[in-house]
Amino acid sequence: MKFINLYLLTIVAFLMFSCNQQKKEKLIIFHAGSLSVPLKQIAEEFMKENPDVEIEMEAAGSRNSARKISDLKKPCDIMASADYKVIEDILMPNYTNWYINFVSNEMTITYTKKSRYSGEINENNWFEILQKEDVAYGRSDPNADPCGYRTELCMQLAEKYYNKPGLAKAVLDKDSRFIRPKETDLLGLLESNSIDYIFIYRSVAEQHNLEYLILPDSINLKLPELNDYYSKTSTQISGKTPNETVIQKGEAMVYGLTIINNAPNKALAIKFLEYLLDQNKGMKIMERNGQPSIIPSESPFYENIPNELKKFSKKK
């Protein structure tokens, strides 16, 4: 009899757990790999306040994330991109008609203490070290990930800054076997000493307690006031369709996010973004992870932003 009662109690507990799980609202977020750490922390805090919510997050290169929506038609509530232009170029106007720019970043050369020449690398010789035969470096795919095309733009800026004709091509033609779909895919290669250096965002280096070299502002794509200078560089990347290409010009790093038109749970998406964009909540976590807030930011699509989120933006 005791065994039967225990069995019945177990069944009841399981059914109650299953019912509770079924009651949870689901939120789907596609996001840049460089947002993985802060978004995970923000989602955990949000779910503490909203225990009836389950958040499903999928990291990829921002351009690949956008194509999951536009090409593969995968259900998604929120898209958070390492470059707001990915939203403009791939998702507008068919999948969304607005975005909010929310954080910034900068490019670095990241390494470990075991990296070859780690004790010697500095602002004046890093490009020479990357070209050494016994050194391997990694970067992400420019057609999949903004960090990839930003690496190419940085190298063009470095060629100008150091007055080294042919430098960009020399560095970018080397170690192409270590190109990966997104910048965070390179971390395992770096930490296992398969490569010595990677081009990656400063925030990611800090989040993973890695060594990094701060590049001059004329190279690192950090400052909006240098946009006229950055824009003198450009690279060609894939467009909305496989047969289309677009020109990507240099520009200071600005991350953008939006809610997809056919979001499965639009109301919950708005509620989550209200939390994420709050300076005392989500943005505090972002800044703690090395991604400075730019809220409130100007938007050319201010009128299309949901009313609840307009306070985080302003008319351009």
List, for residues 195-215, the tens digit of each pLDDT value.
999 999 999 999 999 999 999
Confidence (pTM) = 0.90
Percent of the chain with pLDDT over 90: 89
Question: Any residues with CB less than 8 A from the CB of 307 and at least 6 apart, and which?
Answer: none
| pLDDT given for residue 196 in this prediction | 98
Cα of 92 vs its chain's centroid, Å: 19
Q: Which residues contact 217 (CB under 8 A, 6 or more apart)?
A: 223, 226
Mean pLDDT of the chain: 94
Q: Does residue 12 surpass a pLDDT of 80?
A: no
Cβ density class 41-64: b for 16+ within 10 Å, e for less: ebbebbbeebeebebebebbbbbb
Closest C-alpha to 306, from 270, 272, 277: 270
The whole-number pLDDT of residue 15 equals: 54
H helix or E strand, kind and range, residue 29? strand 25-32
| Structure token pair of residue 231 | 């824009």
- Tokens coding 10: 């177990």
In the chain, the N- to C-terminal Cα span, in Å, equals 73
Residue 19 neighbours by CB under 8 Å, 6+ apart: none
- 3-class DSSP state for residue 148? helix
Domains and CATH numbers, the chain: 2-104+254-315 (3.40.190.10), 107-249 (3.40.190.10)
Residue 36 has pLDDT above 70, yes or no: yes
Model pLDDT, residue 14:
58
Pairing of strands 78-81, 255-259: antiparallel
User: How many angstroms separate the CA atoms of 283 and 40, rounded?
Assistant: 13
- pLDDT confidence of 5, banded at 50, 70, 90? low
